[in-house]
């Protein structure tokens, strides 16, 4: 107790450790979100990224969620790419965040004529604003229309070849095991917070004990066959189900998606565990924020504070949220 306490009797403050230094540098630490769909968010949500210190982001323009027609045709995905290219400069102008693009072919729903997209993709990858291919990666089960595994794999591998040719990293969509809450929602309602026509999920094309992990293994094999260095693969939606495999048997980066923890069960605690177990050198964090989901544009900033609270050093936090994304995507410098 400090003798100079003016309070009538000792308060909690008198027992505090006045020597503790708090990591004030984290309040202004710039960060990079390597996987979001911010072009689908509201203006206010994008402003939240800016206010929270986001330096740069990769806005991923792929995904069946935003195409009105199912099954999807090449032209529908092409529209998504063009829409993002069209709107990106205004987003940078309005919020001062460096907003770059990831373009790819998502396999969450079958695309009728993917070769047409693959044929056009090379020219898109020449654009200076395109810094990644993706998100892509084989998916165990599709929405609306099944896509056989060998066909999906061919589309993923072809994108990886393009990425290797254009010296771009690939953002992998790694499937998560759904966290079992013990209850399911009325089938006609689906999952609240996830805008999706319920009941249209198709039978899986990957069987076995652990289809989510099998899918990642197929992707890594595809990268090897495509001649894409594993260091150029960023496995987004990394989780406890795929961390050991990716860390111990590959050189891929792992990006933990923490913008919709309520859905996939991954949060800053998982990131802290991974940093403690494997060091920060191949770890990133992303939000995957999108308008079709209940997501939090402040999630990455919150994770920075949370990682410190969980015992991670500011130096390692900086590596994970800034240095690694800079290195791999060449943005936010």
Per CB under 5 A, residues contacting Zn ion are 288
Backbone CA torsion sign across 275, 280, 284, 285: positive
Shortest distance in whole angstroms from residue 99 CB to Zn ion: 15
Shortest distance in whole angstroms from residue 279 CB to Zn ion: 26
Shortest distance in whole angstroms from residue 14 CB to Zn ion: 50
Residue nearest to Zn ion (CB): 288
Q: Is 288 or 296 the residue whose CB approaches Zn ion more closely?
A: 288
Q: Is 174 or 319 the residue whose CB approaches Zn ion more closely?
A: 174
3-state SS assignment for residue 301: helix
Shortest distance in whole angstroms from residue 6 CB to Zn ion: 55
| DSSP 8-state class, residue 219 | H
In contact, 194 and 184? CB cutoff 8 Å? no
Radius of gyration of the chain (CA): 21
Q: Could you give the CA distance from residue 265 to residue 85 in angstroms, rounded to a whole number? A: 32
Q: Is 288 or 306 the residue whose CB approaches Zn ion more closely?
A: 288
- Which one, of 87, 98, 85, 182, lies nearest residue 126 by Cα? 85
Q: Is 65 or 318 the residue whose CB approaches Zn ion more closely?
A: 65
The residue assigned the tokens 């039978």 is: 203
Cis peptide before 38 (omega within 30 of 0): no
Q: Is 239 or 288 the residue whose CB approaches Zn ion more closely?
A: 288
Q: Is 33 or 288 the residue whose CB approaches Zn ion more closely?
A: 288
For residue 136, the cross-strand partners are 172
Pairing outcome for strands 98-103 and 31-36: unpaired
Q: Which two tokens stand for residue 324?
A: 């690694």
Q: Is 289 or 322 the residue whose CB approaches Zn ion more closely?
A: 289
For the residues of 48-92, what is the DSSP string, one character each? HHHHTTEEEEEEEE--GGG-SSSSB-HHHHHHHHHHHHHHHHHHH
| DSSP 8-state class, residue 232 | G
Shortest distance in whole angstroms from residue 40 CB to Zn ion: 10
Shortest distance in whole angstroms from residue 15 CB to Zn ion: 47
Shortest distance in whole angstroms from residue 35 CB to Zn ion: 6
């Amino acid at each position: 107790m400090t003798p100079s306490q003016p309070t009538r009797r000792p308060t909690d403050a008198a027992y505090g450790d006045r020597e503790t230094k708090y990591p004030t540098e984290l309040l202004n630490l710039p960060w990079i979100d390597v996987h979001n769909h911010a072009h689908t968010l509201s203006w206010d949500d994008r402003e939240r990224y800016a206010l929270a210190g986001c330096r740069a982001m990769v806005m991923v323009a792929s995904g069946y969620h935003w195409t009105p027609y199912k099954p999807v045709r090449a032209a529908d995905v092409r529209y998504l790419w063009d829409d993002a290219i069209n709107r990106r400069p205004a987003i940078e102008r309005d919020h001062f965040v460096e907003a770059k693009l990831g373009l790819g072919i998502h396999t969450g729903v079958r695309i009728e004529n993917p070769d047409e997209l693959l044929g056009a993709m090379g020219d898109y990858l020449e654009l200076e604003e395109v810094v990644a291919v993706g998100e892509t990666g084989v998916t165990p089960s599709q929405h609306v229309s099944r896509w056989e595994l060998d066909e999906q794999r061919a589309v993923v591998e072809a994108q990886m070849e393009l990425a290797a040719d254009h010296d771009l990293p690939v953002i992998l969509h790694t499937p998560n095991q759904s966290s079992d809450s013990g209850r399911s929602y009325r089938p006609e309602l689906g999952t609240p917070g996830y805008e999706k026509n319920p009941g249209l999920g198709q039978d899986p094309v990957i069987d076995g004990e652990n289809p989510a992990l099998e899918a990642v293994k197929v992707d890594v094999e595809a990268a090897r066959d495509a001649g894409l260095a594993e260091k150029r693969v960023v496995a987004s939606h990394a989780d406890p189900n795929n961390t050991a495999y990716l860390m111990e048997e590959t050189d891929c980066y792992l990006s933990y998606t923490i913008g919709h923890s309520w859905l996939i069960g991954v949060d800053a605690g998982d990131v802290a565990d991974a940093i403690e177990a494997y060091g920060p050198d191949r770890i990133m964090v992303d939000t995957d924020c999108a308008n079709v989901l209940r997501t939090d544009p402040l999630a990455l900033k919150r994770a920075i504070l949370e990682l410190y609270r969980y015992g991670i050093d500011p130096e390692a936090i900086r590596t994970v949220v800034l240095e690694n994304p800079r290195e791999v995507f060449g943005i936010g410098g």
